[in-house]
A and B are shown apart, each in its own frame.
Chain A
């Protein structure tokens, strides 16, 4: 007899993904702490950069994916899209707060301050504040369609702020270092070993993000199935069970 979704164990691929993320974290730390050479200016502190930049990039990725699922929800009102968007919003908030804390840990020994209200840092803090607002608003709206639409719009607003955040170090006076990897084709100003270690850590943070989001979507499905059963038990009209 087939088990209902809520009772199914974690799928094998998700367990494997968790294992890959765990091993990947160890490999990334080894590359950053052992393989990478010290920087000519920052010395050993450059090893913080691999942790900080990788989670910062992944927070951007999570925001973009969140806004895309939100746009899909606005277009076709499929509850599964809202579930995926909110899972990505949670991951985006998680990686954004890691970016802020890691940035402060990097900033204090290199720039002698934990924080300054310049454009780059303020925009990152604003991104995190908007993501917190995303979940506050979701908690205030009972109707799932309206909740999905409002949070999709907030998600799009967060995504619109990303280009300003990305280019803030070029456009505004800031303590934050300028980019060493330019996506406009003007090249990479970084030692090849350091670049390899950085890109490896970005990929590993991406695997961790993928695991977190996949697990969070699975849990969201369990919670939706439980809520639907509770509605049925209460004798109300059965809710639509979201397929995620």
Chain B
């Protein structure tokens, strides 16, 4: 499956991993913050 990838495709994959992980963790933090604030906002 990975044997035919070019060098540039491997490079793109590595940097995409980083981008997706950073974006994913940022979304997770936003979700945690929303969850933490939710009961307060209902009052």
Contacts and interface: CB of A to CB of B under 8 A. Distances in A.
A44 B8 contact: yes
A109 B10 CA distance: 7
A55 B21 CA distance: 11
Q: Which of B11, B22, B26, B33 has the most CB of A within 10 A?
A: B11
A7 B37 contact: yes
Nearest to B2: A108
Chain A binding surface, main DSSP class: helix
Given A44-B7, A45-B7, A216-B29, A98 B18 contact: yes
Interface string B2-41: 1001011011011101110110011001001100110111
B41 to A, nearest CB: 8
A219 B33 contact: yes
A192 interface: no
Interface string A204-243: 0000100010011011001100100110000000000000
Contacts of A48: 10-11, 14-15
Contact of B37 (A6, A51, A106): A6
Contacts of B7: 43-45, 109
Contacts of B25: 94, 212
A5 B32 CA distance: 15
A105 interface: yes
A74 B21 CA distance: 32
A230 B29 CA distance: 22
Given A108-B10, A216-B29, A222 B15 contact: no
Contact of A222 (B11, B19, B33): B33
A56 interface: no
11 contacts: A6-B36, A47-B14, A55-B18, A98-B21, A101-B17, A102-B18, A108-B10, A109-B10, A216-B29, A219-B33, A230-B39
Interface of A: 4, 6-7, 10, 18, 25, 29, 32-33, 43-45, 47-48, 51-52, 55, 94, 98, 101-102, 105-106, 108-109, 208, 212, 215-216, 218-219, 222-223, 226, 229-230
Interface of B: 2, 5, 7-8, 10-11, 13-15, 17-19, 21-22, 25-26, 29, 32-33, 36-37, 39-41
| 6 tightest A-B CB contacts, nearest first | A222-B36, A48-B14, A44-B7, A105-B14, A47-B11, A109-B10
Given A10-B33, A102-B14, A105-B10, 20 more contacts: A6-B37, A7-B41, A29-B15, A33-B11, A44-B8, A44-B11, A47-B14, A48-B14, A98-B17, A105-B13, A106-B14, A109-B7, A208-B22, A219-B33, A222-B33, A222-B36, A222-B37, A226-B39, A226-B40, A230-B39
